[in-house]
Amino acid sequence: MATKSLKAKGNDLAVSNKQLEILNGGIFADGELPYFKDKISEIGHFPLRPKKLEILQINVGYMCNQVCEHCHVDAGPDRKEIMTRETMKQCLDVIKNTGAHTLDLTGGAPEMNPDFEWFVEEAAKAGIKDFIVRSNLTIIRANKKYHHLPDFFKKHNVHVISSMPHYTRGKTDKQRGDGVFDKSIKALQELNERGYGMPGSNLRLDLVYNPSGAYLPGDQAAMEKDFKKALKEDFDIQFHNLFAITNLPIARFLDYLIASENYEDYMYALVEAYNPSAVANVMCTNTISISWDGWLYDCDFNQMLDLKVASKVKHIKDYNEDLLNDRNIIISQHCYGCTAGAGSSCQGTVA
């Protein structure tokens, strides 16, 4: 189990260019596997273009109380990149004027940003239809100063989406660290007590599953059924939907794939599972991702690879939705993770 980020360890893969070298080289440069660009050209989707903007995803910082094995953000307690109030104010100007219907706050653990609650209060006033906070659950139990979060979320009618790799302690703790399962269960019970995740409740609580090894997720609907049954029977916990997400071969998951000698097999599996009908709905076609320091990206994954949007507008201070919507999306071989099987996005399958 990791205790430090790749960045803190001085690992080569903390540098995005190194990751891109791997993704663009080896079995792809040799012609063993086709480049993603060529695959989507076959169906007339290259260059990949955005459709209507629906989701603004804001990453308020890479600090996290956990150091999960497969984190694509390379987050952890040692990451100090945190969005300032000044950048938050620039985001708020955009939130008030955007055509997007969904605001999605992510991290790290977004709650660890010292201005998180101020930002949620201000952003909630904009009346965005779906206001998501991606909470890792354990943060709610990590420290007394976070114990009130379930009430705070409820007060602002925040939609909580939380990672829960499995309904068993062993698989969850293996991926996310010792004790994570028990704390997550307690946090889910507290959210349920406030009405989150209950049948018919408008306090939305969704869970995210991602595989704990070098394999693709199973059928989302079947897994949701299994999770619902097990969590209800074992802990009397309820939630609304389960999103099954494919691990993309970047950051700590890429490090894991290489260290476990699974990289090539995993890329083969992603390419074999390529589903052309997922391409039209990949997440970057309706999302703009904003980093802690205000730069704009096609998605959270491109943010971690430091692939800024291919647009005249690259920073939140210059935000212009029309100009941004007229751009080509930057792709590489990690994109195969979004088109494998039923497709994958921050809100689950797309095909």
State in angstroms the smallest separation of the CB of 227 from ligand SF4. 18
Q: Which of residues 23-62 bind ligand SF4 (CB under 6 A)?
A: none
Total residues at interface with ligand SF4 (CB under 6 A): 26
Closest CA to 126 of 162, 91, 82: 91
Q: Is the peptide bond before 110 cis (omega within 30 degrees of 0)?
A: no
End-to-end CA distance of the chain: 33
State in angstroms the smallest separation of the CB of 283 from ligand SF4. 4
Q: Could you give the CA distance from residue 27 to residue 174 in angstroms, rounded to a whole number?
A: 30
Closest CA to 343 of 252, 297, 276, 288: 276
State in angstroms the smallest separation of the CB of 221 from ligand SF4. 22
Six-digit token string for 199: 């049948």
Among 136, 162, 311, 333, binds ligand SF4 (CB under 6 A): 136
Task: Say whether residue 67 binds ligand SF4 (CB under 6 A).
Answer: yes
Task: Say whether residue 197 binds ligand SF4 (CB under 6 A).
Answer: no
Pairing of strands 287-290, 296-297: antiparallel
Among 83, 223, 284, 288, binds ligand SF4 (CB under 6 A): 284
Query: What binding mask, one character per residue, do residues 102-121 give for ligand SF4 by CB under 6 A, x or -?
Result: -----xxx------------
Helices and strands counted in the chain (H then E): 17, 8
Task: Say whether residue 2 binds ligand SF4 (CB under 6 A).
Answer: no
The full length of the chain comes to 351
Q: Could you give the CA distance from residue 331 to residue 341 in angstroms, rounded to a whole number?
A: 18
Q: Which of residues 138-167 bind ligand SF4 (CB under 6 A)?
A: 163
Among 95, 203, 278, 299, binds ligand SF4 (CB under 6 A): 299
Nearest to ligand SF4 of 126, 280 (CB atom): 280
Among 6, 33, 75, 340, binds ligand SF4 (CB under 6 A): 75
Among 13, 100, 185, 283, binds ligand SF4 (CB under 6 A): 283
Six-digit token string for 100: 């997007």
State in angstroms the smallest separation of the CB of 125 from ligand SF4. 27
The residues near 40 (Cβ < 8 Å, ≥ 6 apart) are: 46, 48, 279, 331
For residues 252-267, b (16+ Cβ closer than 10 Å) or e, as one string?
bbbbbbbeeebbeebb
Task: Say whether residue 249 binds ligand SF4 (CB under 6 A).
Answer: no
Task: Say whether residue 207 binds ligand SF4 (CB under 6 A).
Answer: no
Query: What binding mask, one character per residue, do residues 318-347 give for ligand SF4 by CB under 6 A, x or -?
Result: -----------x-x--xx--x---------
Q: Could you give the CA distance from residue 319 to residue 286 in angstroms, rounded to a whole number?
A: 16
Among 71, 140, 309, 313, binds ligand SF4 (CB under 6 A): 71
Nearest to ligand SF4 of 201, 275 (CB atom): 275
Report, in this order, helix, strand and coil percent for the chain, each rounded to 5.
45, 15, 45
Q: Kindly list the residues in this chain that would bind ligand SF4 in the complex (CB under 6 A).
A: 64, 66-68, 71, 73, 75-76, 107-109, 136, 163, 176, 282-284, 298-299, 301-302, 329, 331, 334-335, 338
